[in-house]
Amino acid sequence: MTFYTIVNKETGEEEECMCSYSRLQKRLDELGPDWQQRIGAPALVTHTGNVINKTSSDWKNLMGNIKKHSGRGNNIKT
């Protein structure tokens, strides 16, 4: 999803919307002609990498203990 900033030309009021471009156009139509999109580079919400690789060693130790004590046939991956 992308963040868009829309501004009221009369009052200077700003609103931030996280939505698709088509939903932004619908929102601008709902608000009326005084509102317009502030042109700029959109802020993108992204995530890269593996969450497990970014966890602390304490969490990894805890997961190892859970696996160790979970019995035969466990399918916990650490």
**Model pTM score:** 0.50
The domain limits of the chain are 2-68
Distance CA 36, CA 29 (A): 10
pLDDT (tens digit, 9 = 90+) per residue, 22-74? 999 999 999 999 999 998 765 666 666 676 677 788 888 888 888 888 877 77
Count Cβ atoms below 10 Å from residue 63 Cβ, excluding itself: 15
